[in-house]
Amino acid sequence: MEVAGVRFTVVGAGRSGLAASNALASRGGDVRLVEARADATRPETLDARVTFVAGTNLPRPGDVAVLSPGVPEVSPVRAEIAAVAAEVIGVNLTIYKTLAFAVSAFYAGIAGGLFGFVLGFFDPFTFNMILSIIFLVMVVVGGLGTILGGIMGATLITYLQYDLLKNIAEVPYFGALMVAVSKQWFTLVGLENFSSMAIGLIMIGIIIFEPLGMFGVWIRMKKYWMTWPF
């Protein structure tokens, strides 16, 4: 590939991104290195011909994008670059996005029909704002932008809601503590709210410590076993 005069955006200022930037610049490329962290500083070993930009990870329009291996698989920049690449090769994104919406709506309708068949009746008060929040929690806990993550998140939250946290007083060790706290500071009637509090704390913990959700944990486990025993 002819590099001289071609515009490149290297995403990620890690070791591989830094090496790629220097290599492209040495061959005459117009290179721009971007780093998502706003507090990132220009690496000392970066070629003087490379433009360094912190606080963004989006390539310039028309640039050849070079992604560092450190960029997460579910990063929005990957999705954006993939969308641009699909349009370049002639894929009609509007048709496929509409088709994806229609297929998901179809399966949601099937799920609603089965739900009504199991219950035998529909209560409009069941479909409230809390249910929408629970769906959001499932997606975030599982992993945004991944099918497997959505399945794992839905499985975990459903298990917590309807099994482990259904009767908080019966949860081993933790249940007795919650009963004691409720008797001391609250009322036993409000004990049922601890399940919602626990789910909220799980979501906050996932956002802080594991932004990729359960899917991110699965990816790290898979990489660990694929490289074992190192």
pLDDT in tens, 130-177: 888 888 889 889 988 788 888 999 998 888 887 766 666 676 777 777
Whether residue 117 is predicted with pLDDT greater than 90 in this model: the reply is: no
Residue pair 68/10 in contact by the 8 Å Cβ criterion: yes
Whether residue 227 is predicted with pLDDT greater than 70 in this model: the reply is: yes
Query: What's the pLDDT at 58?
Result: 76
State mean pLDDT over 69-87: 74
Name the nearest CA neighbour of 24 among 14, 9, 11: 9
Query: What's the pLDDT at 73?
Result: 67
96 vs 131, higher pLDDT: 96
120 vs 174, higher pLDDT: 120
The residue type of 195 is S
Residue 189: which pLDDT band, with cuts at 50, 70 and 90? low
Name the nearest CA neighbour of 59 among 5, 9, 7: 9
Residue 76: which pLDDT band, with cuts at 50, 70 and 90? confident
> What are the pLDDT digits (tens) for 55-67?
887 777 777 888 8
State mean pLDDT over 104-115: 88
State mean pLDDT over 184-194: 64
Q: How far is CA 183 from CA 114, 168, 180, 190, 207, in A?
A: 40, 14, 5, 10, 32
Whether pTM exceeds 0.75: no
Residue 101: which pLDDT band, with cuts at 50, 70 and 90? very high
Show the DSSP H helices in 37-92 as ranges: 76-88
Name the nearest CA neighbour of 153 among 168, 132, 138: 138
Intra-chain end-to-end CA distance of the chain, in Å: 34
Residue pair 48/26 in contact by the 8 Å Cβ criterion: no
Query: What's the pLDDT at 187?
Result: 61
Residue 106: which pLDDT band, with cuts at 50, 70 and 90? very high
Whether residue 188 is predicted with pLDDT greater than 60 in this model: the reply is: no
- Any idea of the CA torsion for 53, 28, 8, 66, to the nearest 10 degrees? -100
Q: What percent of the chain has pLDDT over 70?
A: 90
Whether residue 41 is predicted with pLDDT greater than 60 in this model: the reply is: yes
Residues facing residue 32 across a β-bridge: 9, 51
> What are the pLDDT digits (tens) for 5-35?
888 888 888 888 889 899 999 988 889 998 8
Query: What's the pLDDT at 98?
Result: 94
How wide is the angle at C-alpha 96 spanned by C-alphas 93 and 98, nearest 5°?
Answer: 105
